[in-house]
Structure 1
Amino acid sequence: MKKEEKLEIKLNVQKESWKSLWLMARRYGMSPEKMLEQFVADLTCGAGSGGSDERDLAERWYYRSFEMMGEDTFVSYLCSDEDMIEEVMELKGRITKSEQYISEVKKRIETGERIFVHYGKADKKSLIAATWEELGYESREAWDKECEEEIREEKEIVSENEERLKEIWENFQRARASQSATYEEEMKKLDEFLEEYGKSFR
């Protein structure tokens, strides 16, 4: 069985609040840290949860305390479903990777750089002097055509992933009628969120 990974976190609380929590915990023979761990387990339905009653009460506290403070944003919508966060992260990653590759191939078309990459450690002078046939192409046009085909394929990947991302966005719009920010604004917030999420949990 895989060992449960644990994180150590730091909390900032008022001294008097910590004193009260310490006394509350000691009343039942536990440390305040252990009490907080138990509460987190109940709130998140995690390992070590006390039971269904405890989970229900923790959930009620959560919504009672924070529901009115919630943001009507795409990020808040994603936070309700961890699998959806992972999917969006994969979509954004594939889009970025393909866009970078498209830029790289366009540069190679302009500079001929791909010839040298393709032939690895071959002598640069001999490559410059070589004919297109010797390099494996019928002509420069054939090489350009191959590069353009790669660009077309990568653009299809970008389009497919953007289409799925917009589908998730449209589901959010239907669920949150009061949402007013634009797609571009929400994508900027999403990028910031995914960067933080990736650093914390990947």
Structure 2
Amino acid sequence: NFTVWLADDGADDVEATGEGNMSLPQSFDLIVRRVNQAPSFVIAVANLSVAEGAGEQLVRRFATQMRAGPGDEASQRLSFAVERVETLRGPWGGEGLLLSWNLSATTGDLRFAVAPFRHGRFRITVALRDDGGTALSGQDTARATVELEVAATRGFAAAEAEYEVTVLETRLLVDELFPGLLSRPNLTALAPSERLAGGGLAYYV
């Protein structure tokens, strides 16, 4: 609680003249409210590597030093989530890359699985959130990134190459029977997974 006065540099002679140089006192309370502080963590494994189609993977202590914030926030609950997946190399976007991603905010152990017929290099943004909220400009999220390398298997690469040879042979036959009807087949328009699954082949006519 604070009490303040406003004074000027005039004469202060209340008893003689009834005039003074000081206002009546004013009081007010100052309330300092707690603002949530961001949690923190450290990714102990900066780069993940897995073979295409390898199934679920377990990485012990992938994340460490998980903290909700200062000591008075220690009771807040924490949870991890994937915020974004970016493609660094490869024909696929990040959407749908991960079949599962379970990162424990207690142990830091990570279990994850990559969708089949996907390979390349990806950047994953991992977020740690607490339940303290964002009122009064508080912060409830910390972020870090990890890169994931998904190596193509030899069997997949061989099957893809064989399929493309078959497509090329088919095109040559069509060109021989119908000269000039078809332009070059758009092989890059279809991801290898779609080609192997029997997806349609796109031609420009």
Q: TM-score, normalised by structure 2?
A: 0.22
- Give 1 or 2 for the bigger CA radius of gyration: 2
Q: TM-score, normalised by structure 1?
A: 0.22
Higher strand share: 2
